[in-house]
Structure 1
């Protein structure tokens, strides 16, 4: 039995091991060591060999590298990493971001205490000078039934309802909802909608994720806007369809109960 077999939470990180990201990746690793929950870190090496991993990561028994023979993109890489998760709960972190102390345990404890399928929190932008600025997402703190979160996303161009990387969910729920969408970007929007549209959860009014702002991040590239609207439309329509399916199932259930009541009355 390995250390990862005892993990409560898995953290999935896709990476192409770019030289400018290595210091950030090591900082993320250090932030995991500050967590007070038992974790496993599944690194999806997107088209790069395990030999490129820094020795510090290769020597950590809680780090599991999943080398992919060719680059497949962040969404597919996360899905391949999900195959290797043994922990009952799972979250994600990008290779240039950081988890603040208590990030894992605060969400895990709240979800377990209230029998929830997921728990999220606020994120804070981490600026180059070290300053933090909290992003308050449109979804209000508190408990939310399945589908409630999508309701705070009025249209595809509006601000997304919750930061996807703040979402911690049951591993079986992630697998059951299909994981990450087959998109070149914005795959985590659909992931967010799928998880929160399938089970009840909660948003904590505390920062659980530090989102690093820097010139090399994907969202800062000139090519990023080209497919952003299409990715948003896909995810938003996913939420709309889930809402319709929930309503349909509710109607079927109501019709069945009415039919049974009629039969009982005869």
Structure 2
């Protein structure tokens, strides 16, 4: 039986490194379809992270490397680059060091991408994981099924947020190569990637929980500049114009380009 591979890419910096064992346990609980394997590409964001000290040795599926401090988007792209060096991986799964992958998440992603060639990426329902162990869901999840190309963009224009969680993404490697990985922003680069994927191909939403998104004081989303101020405005501006440029380039030849939705 031929070997099929999905690469899990995980950036990690100092505050989150102690949570790697829990993340690892959630990956070990994944049951993959016959013929499929996973590799876990951990990218240390800067020096002094020491991810290996928090994980058991001897698992050849885990690969740890480090790069100069550039933030999680750059670290994700560097991990993605390592997956491309072998050329074996078919799908790229996003997974942060401080989160937990819900049972069945990888199998559901592989199933849809394998059976539906027009679907380029998948997302799933996510729950916030609070410090006391309780979880909180989100209102407004779409229905299970195909997310037609452009649908995430239309929602984002009205709400300045996506209705699906970019931390749950799994995508075809070729689409990530077209986009060059994640947008190199201090935050929201994963949203930029999601909107880029939405411009290129249909997506899919799993209504089963695929991720427990841990809430804690050290995460980037807790920074004051994450959701307001000049940095936020600049991030939203470049994400919007990047998406518009992609959409205009993909319009049928001869159709006038426009900045309209």
- What is the distance in 2 between the residues matched to 1:89 and 1:250? 34
Report if the CA contact (8 A) 1:15-1:44 is conserved.
yes
Aligned to 1:210: 212
1:191: Cα distance to partner? 0.7
Aligned partner of 1:151 among 140, 151, 154: 154
Matched, 1:30 2:25: yes
Match in the other structure for 1:117: 120
Instruction: Specify which of 205, 220, 223 is matched with residue 221 of structure 1.
Output: 223
Greater than 6 Å deviation, 4+ residue runs: none
- Comparing 175-184 and 231-240, the one that deviates more: 231-240
CA distance in 2, matches of 1:30, 1:250: 52
Identify the residue that residue 259 of structure 2 maps to in structure 1: none
Distance 1:190 1:52, change over 3 A: closer
Q: What secondary structure is seen at the aligned counterpart in 2 of 1:206?
A: strand
For structure 2, the 5+ residue unaligned runs are 257-261
Contact preservation (8 Å) 2:21, 2:54: no
TM-score by length of 2: 0.84
| Counterparts in 2 of 1:164 and 1:63: CA distance versus 1, 3 Å | same
Counterparts in 2 of 1:224 and 1:146: CA distance versus 1, 3 Å:
closer
Task: List gaps (5 residues or longer) in structure 1.
Answer: 253-266
Which aligned pairs between 1:146-185 and structure 2 lie closer than 5 A?
A: 146-155=149-158, 158-185=160-187
Aligned Cα root-mean-square deviation (Å): 2.3
Contact 1:134/1:207 (<8 A) preserved: no
Q: 1:158 to 1:138 in 2, by over 3 A?
A: farther
Q: d(CA) in 2 for partners of 1:206 and 1:222?
A: 32
Matches of 2:47 and 2:139 in 1, distance apart? 36
Q: 1:177 to 1:105 in 2, by over 3 A?
A: same
Aligned pairs for 1:182-201 (under 5 A) are 182-201=184-203
The 2-side partners of 1:114 and 1:7 are apart by 16
Question: What secondary structure is seen at the aligned counterpart in 2 of 1:153?
Answer: helix
So what's the TM-score if we normalise by structure 1?
Answer: 0.83
